[in-house]
Amino acid sequence: MAKKITVSKHLLKERYRLSHHGWFYAIQRIDLLIVAVSGAGIYVGLEVLKFSVDHELRLLWLIKSSGIILVLSITLNLLSQMTGKRTNKHDMIMCSYELSAGNKPSKSDKCEIEKHNDLSERYSGYTRTLNLLSLIFMGIGLGAIVIFFAVTF
């Protein structure tokens, strides 16, 4: 029989804090990787276009398309940063209302709390969608570059 292991609340809170920190760190790294990898892909595309001036290369439309897609990936990531900022802004305002209201929030406080919570959730959804699209566009752009090199060289 398996023993049930009990964990103190203090250790559980510390584990939660560390897990949250790791999760947040991973999200930040993904954003940086999307921008760095997309930027590198754009650079490779521009170098190939420069190389194509002296050499006859086929499928240059694939490199040009990948560059446009990678620029879109970076743009979507930038937009996700902006919506993430708005998410946090409305979450802070909501928390501020909750803290100032105490245990017995007034009707107007409840309205403000609900309004800012809804806005925070909406912007959070936008951020998740934009992050996913940015990652997908990066993958498509890099895939196009890989296909170009696989077919051309």
Question: How far, in Å, CA of 101 to CA of 88, rounded?
Answer: 20
Cα distances from 108 to residues 111, 118, 120, 149, in angstroms, run: 5, 15, 18, 61
Question: How far, in Å, CA of 45 to CA of 66, rounded?
Answer: 8
Q: Would the pLDDT of 5 be above 80?
A: no
Q: What is the pLDDT of residues 20-53, one digit of tens each?
A: 788 888 888 999 999 999 999 999 999 999 999 9
pLDDT at position 104: 86
Question: How far, in Å, CA of 73 to CA of 61, rounded?
Answer: 18
pLDDT at position 144: 97
- DSSP string spanning 128-143? HHHHHHHHHHHHHHHH
pLDDT at position 3: 62
Q: Would the pLDDT of 1 be above 70?
A: no
Q: Would the pLDDT of 135 be above 90?
A: yes
pLDDT at position 6: 66
pLDDT category at 18 given cuts 50, 70, 90 is confident
Tokens of 45: 């595309």
Question: How far, in Å, CA of 149 to CA of 67, rounded?
Answer: 14
Q: What is the pLDDT of residues 56-109, one digit of tens each?
A: 999 999 999 999 999 999 999 999 999 999 999 999 999 999 889 888 889 999
